[in-house]
Structure 1
Amino acid sequence: MKIFITGADGFIGSHLTEKLLNKGYKVTALSYYNSFGFTGWLNDVGKNKNLRIIHGDIRDSNFLEKAIKGHQIVFHLAALISIPHSYESYSSFIHTNVIGTTNVLAAVKKNKIRKTIVTSTSEVYGSAQYVPINEKHPLNAQSPYAASKISADQLSMSFYKSFNIPLTIIRPFNTFGPRQSTRAIIPTIITQILKEKDIKLGNTSTIRDFTFYKDTVEGFIKCISKKGIIGQTINISSGYEISINNVIKVIKNLTKYKKKIRRENKRIRPIKSEVNRLWGCNKKAKKLLNWKPNYSGAVGFKKGIYETIQWYKKEENLKKFDPNQFNI
């Protein structure tokens, strides 16, 4: 079976690529075009006879139509994801996340792909109106990024309803783990500690449902063989909520860090844009995908954090990250 992955050079995409190769699938990994021939985290995946890396841009419809041809499964993960960046460059998010997704859908339609998995985000829910958040929770865009992802989700479902495109939307909740950039809170804390910097953060009272990357990737892979998921949107979450303040405590305890936390106003989201609480319901994933998180609850979260710290501790990994890059 031949699988095509957009965003394969990114955090989740590279882990998904690696896992699929380990399972014996033939993978075409789309890496964002650049003049240096850089393939992002695919460099860490290593050489494999079943891996074909191509460079391109999902904003190019002609390219996608040709590149996707001949594949049976498409995983669409390519997106701009930095919320702070979306405040400044919202048009870029529309071009990549909305128009880019439309191009993927059109290419899938043209080539009659057997199954397509589109990646969403828990940010589309906004601050929880009830918990745990299931797939029927209202969508509420509190940032340009969230708005672009809601648009991409709605476009995807419109292609399913209008053209009978066999697709599924997977909606991960705050995935974390090795290779994640410091635009996210957990690597921000870890890299600042490991580089012996003061921890500089914004709002630490917010609550999140963090899902370890291995569980997220397994959720994606389950979609390949499962029937009865076409036209469905499925949360992938640990089902465990934790405040950022308590995340800090877990990481500080594991690293023996003693310094105080410094609050920086530039790291704080605009008040109406702050998503105060995200806690996902994963019952649908358990039912339709026969999936369950292996890193769940306080113990599972701590285990995932420990594994993440061990990866960042390696000098060849830590040197790739700038702890001064801030998240919101």
Structure 2
Amino acid sequence: MRIIVTGGAGFIGSEFVRSMLLAPGAANDIRITVLDKLTYAGVRENLDPVAGHPRHAFVHGDICDGDFLDQVVPGHDAVVHFAAETHVDRSITGSAPFVTTNVLGTQLLLDAARRHGVGRFLHVSTDEVYGSIPVGSWSEESPLAPNSPYAATKAGSELLALACHRTHGMDVVVTRCSNNYGPYQFPEKVIPLFITRLLDGGKVPLYGDGQHVRDWLHVSDHCRGVELALRHGRAGEVYHIGGGTELTNEQLTGHLLAATGRGWEQVERVPDRKGHDARYSLDCTKAATELGYAPLVGFERGLADTVAWYAGNRSWWEPLQRRAALRASA
């Protein structure tokens, strides 16, 4: 199978590429072309473990460039579409790049895949498209009600993908995941932001009352779920990929303080984010039943391993902190 992985130099995309090519028992019939624009969160070094792999190729380019896609897409059997602008806070201060990449870029990629006869198009989305749920869990049939500009663009992109299935008969599968964590995550997201600041003895910001609830999913479990959906998902269907560990942000902060040996004096309460969703929760029964998906990495072990990875890889994240600071001040 010849696969294009968009956003393959990012946090989740690079984990997918590494796992598909290097994990024990990985299939030897997979050839991967990584397509990445290398924006501030795309890190070429994330692919160093597969840089010399004979079944891996890297192409630097933009999914918003249709002519470029016409050069890259032909000859591939599947697209796994991770590429997106993803940071909610950035979408609140400026949503235009999110609309351009997440909506227009996805449509151009869908068009190219259809023109060139790509078999399967797997679109990776997020639980944030549902908005907020006070109790219970969403099923794949729950209505979409996004609240942030980021979530709205992800909802739009996946609806475009599903429309291509219904209108053109494309083999489209959509996955919606809960909050990811793990190694190689850009240090603007909450877990790596807190870990890196706490390792340096700095303060960490806790939004509002800290009672917002998220379900935490180790990135390796997410990528295993994506592979299962790629291989076994039914065309036109949506599958939830969750971690099964719901925590308030205050509880998460407590775990991170304990893991880094810091105390609550390092926490600063800050005004709540605009439109901050109170709770996310996915029902993953469909993925378990149809795909055989279940998370394997327990949160305590996964978080401990993640903290250890950041503690041992300052040469990876310290330059990214400086890059993010420069971008924010530009």
Fold shared by both chains (TM-score > 0.5): yes
User: Greater CA deviation, 204-213 or 120-129?
Assistant: 120-129
After TM superposition, the structure 1 = structure 2 runs for residues 1-328 of structure 1, keeping only pairs within 5 Å, are 1-22=1-22, 23=26, 24=28, 25-32=30-37, 39=44, 41-128=46-133, 130-203=135-208, 204-226=210-232, 229-260=234-265, 261-265=267-271, 268-270=272-274, 273-295=275-297, 300-314=298-312, 315-322=314-321
SS of residue matched to 1:74: strand
Partners in 2 of 1:97 and 1:165 — Cα distance?
A: 19
Whether the aligned pair in 2 keeps the contact of 1:31 and 1:40 (CA below 8 Å) is: no
Structure 1 pair 218–154 and aligned structure 2 pair: CA distance change class (3 A): same
Distance of 1:276 and 1:292 partners within structure 2: 25
- Distance in 1, Cα, partners of 2:154 & 2:213: 21
Give, in whole Å, the separation in 2 of the partners of 1:213 and 1:311.
Answer: 14
* C-alpha displacement of 1:119: 0.9
Provide the C-alpha distance between the structure 1 equivalents of 2:43 and 2:281, rounded to a whole number of angstroms.
36
AA aligned opposite 1:316: S
The answer on whether the counterparts of 2:9 and 2:38 sit within 8 Å (CA) in structure 1 is no
Q: Secondary structure at the match of 2:52?
A: coil
Residues in 2 aligned to 1:224 and 1:124: alpha-carbon distance in whole angstroms: 21
2:254 alignment partner, SS class = helix
Secondary structure of 1:190's counterpart equals: helix
Question: How many residues end up aligned between the 2 structures?
Answer: 315
Shift of 1:79: 0.5
Per-residue Cα deviation, 1:243-285 (whole angstroms, up to 9, x for no partner): 11111111222222124211233xx311xx1111012111111
CA distance in 1 between partners of 2:290 and 2:70 (Å): 30
| Mapped contact 1:10–1:40 kept (Cα < 8 A) | no
Report Cα offsets for 1:81-137 as digits up to 9, x if no partner: 111111222121111100000011101111111111001111101111542222122
Specify whether residues 291 and 187 from structure 1 end up closer, same or farther in structure 2 by C-alpha distance, changes over 3 A only. Answer: same
Instruction: Say if 2:257 and 2:264, in contact at 8 Å, map to a contact too.
Output: no
User: Where do 5+ consecutive residues of structure 2 fail to align?
Assistant: none
Cα gap change, 1:38/1:256 in structure 2, threshold over 3 Å: closer, same or farther? closer
Counterpart contact for 2:206–2:249, Cα < 8 Å: no
Change (3 A) 1:233 1:45: same
Contact 2:187 2:317 in 1 (8 A): no
Q: Secondary structure at the match of 1:119?
A: strand
What's the CA shift for 1:239? 2.4
Moved more, 207-216 or 182-191: 182-191
Look up the equivalent residue of 1:242 and give its one-letter code: L
SS state at 1:98 partner:
helix
**Cα distance change of structure 1 residues 291 and 140 upon mapping to structure 2, 3 Å threshold:** same
> What is the RMSD of the two structures over their aligned residues, measured on CA atoms?
2.0
Letter in 2 for 1:126: G
- CA drift at 1:33: 5.5
The worse-fitting range, judged by mean Cα deviation, of 3-12 and 16-25 is 16-25
Per-residue deviation, residues 39-95 of structure 1 (Å, max 9, x unmatched): 252235432111100011010112112211101111001000111111222121111
Q: Which structure 1 residue ranges, 4+ long, deviate > 3 Å from structure 2? A: 43-46
Q: Cα distance 1:129–1:104, how it changes in 2: closer, same or farther (>3 A)?
A: farther
Letter in 1 for 2:295: P
Instruction: Give the SS at the match of 1:319.
Output: helix
Query: What SS is found at the alignment partner of 1:120?
Result: strand
Of 98-107 and 234-243, deviating more is 234-243
Cα distance between partner residues in 1 of 2:199 and 2:317: 8
Write out per-residue CA displacement over residues 213-238 of structure 1, whole angstroms, 9 at most, x where no aligned residue: 110010111123215x2101111001
